C-alpha cells in the first residue's frame, strides 16, 4: 500500500498563506496579474489609481473600513470596481487578508481584465503581514508624512516591489529631505525602485502608468 506522510508544521503554512496560494492559483488560471496596493490613510492611493487606470485592462478591488467613497471615485473610470467593506467587526479590520479577497473573487470579472489592483486599507503596519495572492506589492508614502517613515515602518517598506513617493508638489512647503528618505528606504530595502510622483500635478504619472502596463504576466514575488 502506498503511504504518504504529510507532516503538519504548525507555523510553516498558516491559514492565510494557504488561502493566498489558492487565490494566486485562481488568478493564474484567469491570466490576471495582481497588485497589492498599500499606504497610510491619505497617502493618495485612490488618486494614484484614478490617474493611470484608464487605458489598462484593469480592475480594482477596494478595501475600506467603511463607506464607499473610494469605490465611488473610481466608478467614473472605465474599469470594473468591486468594493470589500471590512467593518464587520467592532471597528473594522485594519488590513485585507487572503480570505477577504477570496470572498470577493466571484464578484470580480477576471475574464475581462489582465491586471487587478487591490487597494488595501490605509495602514502602514498590518497589511504588510498578510499576503492576499498578489504578484507584486506597491506602497505609497507621501512627503507630508515625513522622511522618517522607512525607519519607523520598516516591514511595510521592505514588503513591496515599488515605492511611490507621492505629493512631491508639496516639497517646497514641507520639511522633507528626499535624499534622506531615499537613503533610509534603501537601508531597510536595498535596491527597491522608487518613483517620485504627484497625483495632483501629474508628475511621474507616465512612469507609474508604464510600471503597471509592463506588469501583466510578470511575477515579482513568489506565492
H/E element, 11: none
22, 82, 155, 213: which one contacts a copy of itself (CB under 8 A)?
155
Taking CA 190 as the corner, what is the angle to CA 185 and CA 193, rounded to the nearest 5 degrees?
70
User: Can residue 151 be called a binding residue for a copy of itself (CB under 8 A)?
Assistant: yes
Site track for a copy of itself across 8-37, x = CB under 8 A: ------------------------------
Helix (H, G, I), strand (E, B) or coil at 141: strand
Q: Is the dihedral angle over the CA atoms 29, 30, 33, 34 positive or is it negative?
A: negative
Chain centre to alpha carbon of residue 83: 15
User: Can residue 157 be called a binding residue for a copy of itself (CB under 8 A)?
Assistant: no
Helix (H, G, I), strand (E, B) or coil at 97: coil
Quote the least distance from Cβ 82 to a copy of itself, whole Å. 18
Q: Kindly indicate which of the ranges 24-32, 39-47, 74-82, 106-114 contains the residues binding a copy of itself, using the contact rule CB under 8 A.
A: 39-47
Alpha-carbon span 17 to 129, nearest angstrom: 10
User: Can residue 199 be called a binding residue for a copy of itself (CB under 8 A)?
Assistant: no
Quote the least distance from Cβ 93 to a copy of itself, whole Å. 8
Taking CA 61 as the corner, what is the angle to CA 120 and CA 89, rounded to the nearest 5 degrees?
60
CB-based burial of residue 63 (10 Å sphere; 0-12 exposed, 13-18 middle, 19+ buried)?
buried
- Considering only residues 78 through 137, tell me which ones interact with a copy of itself, judged by CB under 8 A: 90-94, 121-126, 128-129
Size of the site for a copy of itself (CB under 8 A): 42
Quote the least distance from Cβ 38 to a copy of itself, whole Å. 12
Nearby residues of 217 by Cβ (< 8 Å), 6 or more positions away: 33
Quote the least distance from Cβ 174 to a copy of itself, whole Å. 7
For a copy of itself, give the closer residue by CB, 114 or 169: 169
User: Can residue 67 be called a binding residue for a copy of itself (CB under 8 A)?
Assistant: yes
25, 54, 112, 148: which one contacts a copy of itself (CB under 8 A)?
148
User: Can residue 146 be called a binding residue for a copy of itself (CB under 8 A)?
Assistant: yes
Pick the closest to residue 62 from 114, 100, 99, 110 (CA basis): 100
H/E element, 51: helix 45-52
**Which residues of this chain interact with a copy of itself, rule CB under 8 A?**
40-42, 64-67, 69-70, 90-94, 121-126, 128-129, 142, 144-146, 148-149, 151-156, 159, 167, 169-170, 173-175, 200
Amino acid at each position: 500500500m502506498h503511504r504518504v506522510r504529510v507532516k503538519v508544521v504548525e507555523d510553516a503554512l498558516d491559514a492565510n498563506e494557504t488561502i493566498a496560494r489558492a487565490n494566486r492559483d485562481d488568478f493564474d488560471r484567469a491570466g490576471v496579474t495582481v497588485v497589492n496596493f498599500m499606504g497610510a490613510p491619505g497617502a493618495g492611493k485612490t488618486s494614484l489609481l484614478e490617474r493611470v487606470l484608464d487605458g489598462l485592462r484593469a480592475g480594482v478591488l477596494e478595501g475600506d473600513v467603511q463607506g464607499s467613497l473610494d469605490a465611488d471615485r473610481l466608478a467614473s473610470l472605465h474599469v470594473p470596481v468591486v468594493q470589500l467593506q471590512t467593518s464587520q467587526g467592532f471597528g473594522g479590520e485594519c488590513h485585507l487578508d487572503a480570505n477577504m479577497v477570496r470572498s470577493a473573487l466571484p464578484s470580480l470579472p477576471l475574464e475581462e481584465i489582465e491586471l487587478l489592483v487591490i487597494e488595501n486599507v490605509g495602514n502602514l503596519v498590518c497589511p504588510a503581514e498578510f499576503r492576499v495572492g498578489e504578484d507584486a506589492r506597491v506602497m505609497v508614502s507621501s512627503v507630508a508624512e515625513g522622511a522618517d517613515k522607512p525607519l519607523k515602518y520598516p516591514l511595510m517598506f521592505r514588503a513591496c516591489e515599488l515605492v511611490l513617493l507621492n505629493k512631491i508638489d508639496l516639497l517646497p512647503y514641507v520639511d522633507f529631505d528626499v535624499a534622506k528618505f531615499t537613503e533610509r528606504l534603501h537601508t531597510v530595502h536595498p535596491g527597491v525602485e522608487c518613483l517620485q510622483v504627484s497625483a495632483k500635478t501629474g508628475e511621474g504619472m507616465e512612469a507609474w502608468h508604464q510600471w503597471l502596463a509592463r506588469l501583466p504576466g510578470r511575477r515579482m514575488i513568489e506565492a
